[in-house]
Amino acid sequence: MKIASKVAFIAASMFAAGAVLAQGKSPAVQNLLIGNATANDTQAANNDKFAELLTKYSNGRFKASARHGEALGNHAQMIGAMQAGAIHGMTTAVGFTASVVPENSMFDMPFLLPGRPAMITAFAAQSKAAALMKEAAEKKGIHVLAFHGIGSQSFLTKFPISKLSDIQGKKFRVIPSPPRMGSYQDWGGVARPMELGEVYTALQQGNLDGMENPPDVIYKMKMHEVAKYYTITEHFAIAAIMMVSKKWYDGLPKDLQDVVERAGRDTVAFSDVAYTKAQDDGMKALRKVITVTNMPPAEIQKMKALALKGVWERMKADPQKGPIAKLLLQDLDNFNKKNSNRR
């Protein structure tokens, strides 16, 4: 679907949503749109499960369907439409909401989150900083059902990496969040924010030298066809945000709000299992088709030290993000004490 058609579709949906809200009551059956930027991957399955459970738990009062592959627009378009109530919900990497809710970008701090999906979910569930992020999102028209884990990210490149200096001056695709871009500044790389759908061609044409993502995304998106080296660093991990339109949610009766919350909780449980299997399967698949190596521990320590002196200090000094950055470090300390044998 071309962008103009997407915009027209969203505009028509917004008009319809506004008409429903203007009536002051929910219709007998609400057709719900769940947006998703990816296709044929675990994130798509996650959004499908959320739509399925919304329909099931509402006893047919909701008829929800997920639309994949940016059928409803890119991330910025879908988030805007969701704030307006035209798109009812979506799940995506939390960094894509940073332009709307800057506080959410703090989950993208380097070497913060544990690598396994269920452990990321557990960290977010006990995080006091995450509670503040939810409050900030509410003020921007986004009701957050949960943050949950996708997996750790490492370097996929067109060149081998054995030391940190190998990435200096190289161009890497990143999710457009300040902590990620700031980390590459500290490490000497060049961060290039870009939609995932553009990355394959950019790598193929030499406009990018590398990217970072969990194994399942790389394999299912066939990025390994154009970049042949995967270096395990786990310098970032992706937390997903499961969110719905606050405008729509606030207009629901209490029993249907409970349905939405229940569907969200059960989708997170599904996601933890699905993403764990996907990451394990993705790594096995990558090892068969490209070169997979581990960054030497001493080089990873260099990355951590530079980030702690660099992006972490800059974010702690930021008036808006500083309190959350500091709280995240407390969350991390508490979580590590409770889960020292599980990370």
Could you tell me the two tokens for 259?
């349905």
d(CA 222, CA 205): 15
Beta bridge partners of residue 146, listed in sequence order: 242
pLDDT score at 342: 56
DSSP code per residue over 43-72:
HHHHHHHHHHHHHHHTTTSEEEEEE-TTTT
**What pLDDT, on the 0 to 100 scale, is given for residue 6?**
55
- Cα 79 to its chain centre, rounded Å, is 13
Distance of CA 173 to the CA centre of its chain: 15
Please list the pLDDT of the chain residue by residue as tens digits (343 residues): 454 455 445 545 544 444 444 444 545 899 999 999 988 889 999 999 999 999 999 999 999 999 999 999 999 999 999 999 999 999 999 999 999 999 999 999 999 999 899 999 999 999 999 999 999 999 999 999 999 999 999 999 999 999 999 999 999 999 888 999 999 999 999 999 998 889 999 999 999 999 999 999 899 889 999 999 999 999 999 999 999 999 999 999 999 999 999 999 999 999 999 999 999 999 999 999 999 999 999 999 999 999 999 999 999 999 999 999 999 999 999 999 988 765 4
> What's the pLDDT score for residue 128?
96
Instruction: Decide: helix, strand or coil at residue 70.
Output: coil
The closest of 131, 139, 47, 158 to 93, measured between CA atoms, is: 47
Predicted TM-score of the model (pTM)? 0.86
pLDDT for 57 equals 98
46: helix, strand or coil: helix
- Domain residue extents for the chain: 3-337
Strands (E), the chain: 30-35, 62-67, 89-93, 142-157, 171-174, 190-193, 210-213, 229-245, 291-294
- Indicate the fold that domain 3-337 takes in CATH: D-Maltodextrin-Binding Protein; domain 2 (3.40.190)
